[in-house]
Amino acid sequence: MAELSIPSNSGDLEEHEQVMSEVHLGCPPGLSGPHISKFTISLPPQGAESIRQGEAVSTQQNIELDEDGQSNRSCCLIIQHNITSSIPNVGLQVWRAELILSDFVLHKIHTSSEFEGIVSLELGAGTGMVGIILACVAKRVFITDHGDEILDNCANNVHLNSEMFNHQASVYVRGLNWKNSWPPTMDSESSETQKRFSWTASEVEEVQGASLLLAADVIYSDDLTDAFFNTLERLMSQGSEKVLYLALEKRYNFSLDDLDVVANGYLRFQSYLRDAEECESLEHEPLPRFVGKPIDLTQIPQYVREYNRGNDIEIWQIKYVRRKSQSQTL
């Protein structure tokens, strides 16, 4: 079974069609139900001081010696996931963009204090791996996705790895459908799972004050990309200034319109981004203005061992440039 390759009209695909992440290639595709994998994270030789949760991580930490007798420290993430899934439930799998964003967060944790004590929101979190890692140093982490099964699985992963969190961290798994309004509301037909992962007014207020947004592998169909940026506009235009780090994988498909192999989802994503000079010239434009720049991945070590980065994964830093009238009212 090949890795996920979704055309821009993915809404036309049958829900029962099964796909498999490249991360899971080699696993028996016939396995049904959740599967448990351990992902090994290499820590710098100086130790785990940069992950500031103290002794909590020791139960999942290993110490090995290399050829020079230096200690190589590592810890394990325990992630429950599916081997295959339908396209609406791809959040039940682990994807390469999720792993490279985990590397990015780990590098920030090891090399700076930028993420310490912050409030953050992860969008389309899937298995929740990135948010779980961030909870090693953050104060509040809101891990969000859509769909009962995905939210239940994500909550299980939070529980499986809770020993890694710093003692002040609070981690919330919450439902967030980008096609609905923000803040999210429940109706009388909400399922029990949706009620379990519903927002409180204080949580919504806290997210408005968040400084960090994270997302991985949420760009693969045009309608979802549009809904994603609509949600970003609502989140980033209000409250405190926020930065988004988004990891994505370019997925190529043959286009009948272009008679060529193109990454349509990637092109739609880039259509939302501007550089700083463009934003200045669009001062009176009513559209959202997102400034994006790619992160140099050659400067990000691979901390998570069990994957191959490949050549088609990127991380973007994205900010929302508010109109002056917005800034003056805050």
User: Within a 13 Å sphere around the CA of 109, how many CA atoms are in the beta-carbon half?
Assistant: 31
Q: How far is Cα 145 from Cα 163, in angstroms, rounded to an integer?
A: 23
Point out which residues pair with 294 in neighbouring strands: 316
Tell me how far apart the terminal alpha carbons of the chain are, to the nearest angstrom. 51
Radius of gyration of the chain from Cα atoms? 20
Contacts of residue 224, defined as CB under 8 A and 6 or more positions apart, other chains included, come to 10, 178, 218
pLDDT at 3: 39
Model pTM?
Answer: 0.85
pLDDT the model gives residue 26? 78
pLDDT in tens, 14-39: 466 888 898 988 777 666 778 999 99
**In the chain, what are the domains?**
94-329 (3.40.50.150)
Token pair in block for residue 31: 């396995």
- Catalogue the E-assigned strands of 263-312: 273-274, 290-294
Mean pLDDT of 206-228: 94
Unique residue bearing structure tokens 């000079």: 277
The 10s digit of each residue's pLDDT in 42-84 is: 877 644 444 444 334 333 544 343 454 444 678 899 999 999 9
Buried b (16+ CB within 10 A) or exposed e, 45-78: eeebebbbbeebbeebbeeeeeeeeeeebbbbbb
Question: Six-digit token pair at 124?
Answer: 């389309």
- Dist. CA 58–CA 79, nearest whole Å: 18
Decide: 239 and 232 in contact? Cβ < 8 Å: no
pLDDT at 220: 83
CB 106 within 8 A of CB 214: no
